[in-house]
Amino acid sequence: MVKIDEPNDKKKPAVTARLFLNSIKTWYNKNGIHSCISSISQPQPTDREDRVALAFNLDICEDMPKCRARVIDEETGDVVKVLDEMGEERDKIELIENPEEVTIWLNINVENAENNEFKVYSMGSAFPLINYAFIESGDVSKDNKKNLIFTYDELVDVLEGLEFKAFTESRSFKGGKAYQVLIPKAL
């Protein structure tokens, strides 16, 4: 599907990866949500020299009657803020129907910058999706649980157009606050 990128459009996305994954956890984790990766960004620098971030656009290919989303001011395109019970400013959240897409960011490690090689660790939050993509392409065995090293081009080849059912799994880092990880499964 061709999309027009409006560089002057400053409207923030209503559906974030966190809200999308939490919506799956709450309402859809039994059957998942049919999804398809439509594009992957170039590697973006992070605050760590040994890591880059990749954004990928995930098209939502089936009805999703309830999804959490940020309220966006129509005039400014900014996220509407509210004060919580502790007096802290938070994004105002609402339920919407049938979002079309969400952008999800993955952090991956740089294995060899000269060769454009990257690495995901088996315990990392990017591993379930990237491992699944390489399993589906036949590049690794179905029972792979080991770290993966790959080039950016190899990653794009296996991720773009990949269709799956999106599920979530709760994880925490060293006993910290729990977060949701995208878990892809076959349609």
Query: Of 155, 125, 182, which Cα lies nearest the Cα of 42?
Result: 155
pLDDT attached to residue 5: 54
Q: Which residues in the chain come in under a pLDDT of 70?
A: 1-10
pLDDT attached to residue 4: 55
Q: Domain coordinates of the chain in residue numbers?
A: 17-185
pLDDT attached to residue 169: 94
pLDDT attached to residue 11: 75
Is pTM, for the whole model, over 0.75? yes
pLDDT attached to residue 8: 45
Measured from the Cβ of residue 58, the count of other Cβ atoms closer than 10 Å reads 23
Query: Of 165, 168, 162, which Cα lies nearest the Cα of 187?
Result: 165
